[in-house]
Amino acid sequence: MHLIHLTPLDLGLAALLVLALALFSARVHLDVARPLLIAALRTTVQLLLVGLVLKAVFARVHLLWIGGISLVMLLLAGREVMARQRRRLAGWWGFGVGTLSMFVSSFAVTLLALTVIIGPQPWYQPQYAIPLLGMLLGNTMNGIAIAMDRLTQEAWQQRTVIEGRLLLGHDWGRAIGDIRRDSMRSGLIPIINAMSAAGIVSLPGMMTGQILAGSPPVEAVKYQILIMFLIAAGTGFGTMGAVWMGARRLFDERQRLRLDRLHS
């Protein structure tokens, strides 16, 4: 199947749609026109830079290159998790909880997929490793950001309820247990919705990309199923780990609620 190459004009026409959206949102005073245009510019610049970097990496396969790129992706994802929260944990905890959770979950799932399931040679083949880790980090980042935002917001709003439970003799886990469960559930809703609607309401991005690139549809479907399962596992374990660490951080060693550890 012949691959149709896109020209700068093609991308420019698509950009006009975003510009039209920004103008319309400004007309109705949504206050999102500037962030929308900045996000579109960032998308263009970042993806072009990534394309150039990946071209160089694909030409010279080396574990150190892959490790360096993976580390940069992880650190940037950790920053985005922290930036999207209204009330985040103060100090390095705001960055550390999400980053550590993504590292443990996304990297572990990616390593399992590369070494046991897909099995490229070498196992860190960038054609597989970088896109797979990117999809896992992106989705885990979203889940953790939603869950942590829900956790800190609910803990702040229900602080009197939590303190009342502590006075009744509950430990920190029971005092914040319902908030913690709701936060984990919130972080998992996007991937559950994505899996439920895949193939019926929407065609997932990786599958669509493979089909557009000329891969057989059935083979693209198999890869997409694999990716969805990996993303679900990575997002689930990452979200649970982040919420548990975040909730524990809200209490001191004497099991007192410490909302001064939140930065608004």
Q: Which residue has the higher pLDDT, 3 or 122?
A: 122
43 and 93 share one domain: no
- Distance, in Å, from the CA atom of 55 to the CA atom of 60, rounded to the nearest integer, reads 9
Q: Domains in the chain: how many in total?
A: 2
30 and 107 share one domain: no
SS3 213: coil
Our separate counts of H helices and E strands in the chain read 11, 2
The pLDDT tens digits for 80-89 are: 888 877 888 8
Note the pLDDT of residue 158. Answer: 92
103 and 18 share one domain: no
Q: Residues 106, 166: contact at Cβ < 8 Å?
A: no
The pLDDT tens digits for 108-125 are: 999 999 999 999 888 998
Note the pLDDT of residue 115. Answer: 93
- Checking DSSP bridges between strand 262-263 and strand 88-89, what pairing results, if any? antiparallel
Q: Which domain holds residue 52?
A: 1-60
25 and 49 share one domain: yes
The pLDDT tens digits for 178-206 are: 999 999 999 999 999 888 887 776 667 77
Candidates 85, 11, 12, 66; CA nearest to 243 is 85
- Distance, in Å, from the CA atom of 235 to the CA atom of 43, rounded to the nearest integer, reads 23
Average pLDDT, the chain: 88
263, containing H or E segment? strand 262-263
